[in-house]
Amino acid sequence: MSLRPILLHPDPRLRTAARPVGAIDDSLRRLADDMLETMYDAPGIGLAAPQVGQLVRLIVMDCVKAEDEAPRPMVLVNPEITWTSDETGVYEEGCLSIPEHYAEVTRPAEVAVRWTALDGSAQEERFAGLWATCVQHEIDHLDGRLFIDHISAVRRGMITRKMEKLKRDRARGIERA
Ligand code: NI
């Protein structure tokens, strides 16, 4: 397993719809392993393949936060939301591609998601709470959407300008204190 560099917003690859996964092969399994390692290392609770420059419909997540609870690494191939609750929930969201920026986002409080597991089996599960927010955030990535698309254009522009500056600084090798 190895860590993969995470793309930073703005990047055209984060704005491109990802293609469905065809065959589940060794390279896809390696990508999923690398994405989990990269997510835990960041640390984060979710990561979508486009964030590491792979434009395929694959996400990983683990929203277990309590230290006395076993981790639950999940790999979702071709995930699809099949149902959303009318009830909404608000979470302060962040993104590994938009570090250090957070905003409250309103989404359906519960969703049902269908996907293929790495062993090829069909899965379906209902998610609530942080898991529901996370899976919607990650599936958004597969359609070229970011959490800042759910907030005001003014705030989005502000965050994007700050990210452009961060990327320029990093390109020049300037580390922020
Ligand atoms: Ni994200």
Measure 156 CA to ligand 1 centroid, in angstroms. Answer: 14
Is residue 1 pLDDT above 90, yes or no? no
Q: Is residue 114 part of a domain?
A: yes
CATH of residue 27: 3.90.45.10
How far, in Å, CA of 60 to CA of 23, rounded?
18
Measure 99 CA to ligand 1 centroid, in angstroms. Answer: 9
Q: Which of 107, 104, 103 is nearest to 88 (CA)?
A: 107
Residue list, CB under 5 A from ion ligand 1:
95
Measure 86 CA to ligand 1 centroid, in angstroms. Answer: 23
Q: Is residue 1 part of a domain?
A: no
- 10: preceding bond cis by omega (within 30 degrees): yes
**Greatest CA separation found in the chain?**
47
Task: Please state the pTM of the whole predicted model.
Answer: 0.95
Measure 138 CA to ligand 1 centroid, in angstroms. Answer: 6
Instruction: Name the domain count of the chain.
Output: 1
Write the pLDDT tens digit of every residue in 79-101.
999 999 999 999 999 999 999 99
Residue ranges of alpha helices (H) inside the chain are 26-41, 129-142, 153-171
Write the pLDDT tens digit of every residue in 47-80.
999 999 999 999 999 999 888 999 999 999 999 9
Measure 3 CA to ligand 1 centroid, in angstroms. Answer: 17
Q: Is residue 5 part of a domain?
A: no
Interacting residues of 113 by C-beta distance below 8 A, sequence separation 6+: 76, 79, 80, 81, 82, 124, 125, 126, 127, 135, 139
The one catalytic residue in 69, 110, 124, 138 is 138
Asked if 138 is an active-site residue, the reply is yes
Q: Is residue 89 part of a domain?
A: yes
Structural domain boundaries enclosing 37: 12-171
Confidence of residue 176 (pLDDT cuts 50, 70, 90): low
Q: Is residue 177 part of a domain?
A: no
Q: Is residue 7 part of a domain?
A: no
Q: Is residue 153 part of a domain?
A: yes
Q: Is residue 112 part of a domain?
A: yes
